[in-house]
């Protein structure tokens, strides 16, 4: 059985993951409208990953006799600037999520719920990868400049 405090924290993270999913879907729609099909595809895959995170957390709560909740999802930003600005916003957001996950792990440790701490190890690894990927794309877009953005767009369109 999972503690109420930890259950509440995981439910908060579920909502955050769903908000993140909507953020990336908004970015995907923006890129589609602007003609950046590769970036749009990359963001759509990111949307799906965030929803997968929310579901994985919810399933874990069920396994621990907790109650997963779908809470109100706030509106995400609409409209974006250049591809570089969008990916800089992505990097900033991923850094924020990393902090949230660290706080969630700290709560699990405070509750001495080592099963949850162990469970969250996948989440930490996934988050490190997501943050590093966003940073890499920002670096590539800066190196590519306006002319090379088209090539980065095409490369990101190959994401599976």
Judged by DSSP in three states, 73 sits in: coil
Is the four-CA dihedral 121, 106, 11, 29 of positive or negative sign?
negative
pLDDT at 124: 95
Helix segments in 73-113, DSSP class H: 83-110
pTM metric for this prediction: 0.93
Q: Domain coordinates of the chain in residue numbers? A: 4-156
Q: What pLDDT digit, counting tens, does each position of 75-120 carry?
A: 999 988 999 999 999 999 999 999 999 999 999 999 999 999 999 9
User: Which tokens is 118 given?
Assistant: 């162990």
Q: Tell me, what's the pLDDT at 104?
A: 97
Q: Nearest-CA neighbor of 127 among 99, 106, 157? A: 99
Q: Given this model, what pLDDT does residue 147 score?
A: 76
Determine the CATH number of domain 4-156.
Answer: 1.20.1260.10
């Amino acid at each position: 059985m999972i503690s109420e405090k930890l259950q509440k924290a995981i439910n908060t993270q579920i909502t955050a993951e769903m908000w993140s999913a909507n953020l990336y879907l908004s970015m995907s729609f923006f890129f589609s409208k602007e003609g950046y099909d590769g970036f749009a595809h990359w963001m759509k895959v990111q949307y799906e990953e965030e929803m997968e995170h929310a579901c994985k957390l919810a399933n874990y709560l069920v396994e621990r006799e907790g109650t997963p909740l779908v809470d109100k999802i706030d509106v995400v930003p609409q409209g974006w600037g250049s591809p570089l600005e969008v990916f800089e916003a992505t990097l900033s957001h991923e850094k924020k999520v990393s902090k949230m996950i660290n706080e969630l792990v700290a709560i699990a440790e405070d509750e001495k719920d080592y099963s949850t701490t162990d469970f969250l190890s996948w989440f930490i690894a996934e988050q490190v990868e997501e943050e590093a990927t966003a940073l890499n794309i920002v670096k590539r877009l800066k190196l590519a400049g306006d002319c090379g953005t088209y090539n980065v767009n095409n490369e990101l369109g190959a994401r599976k």
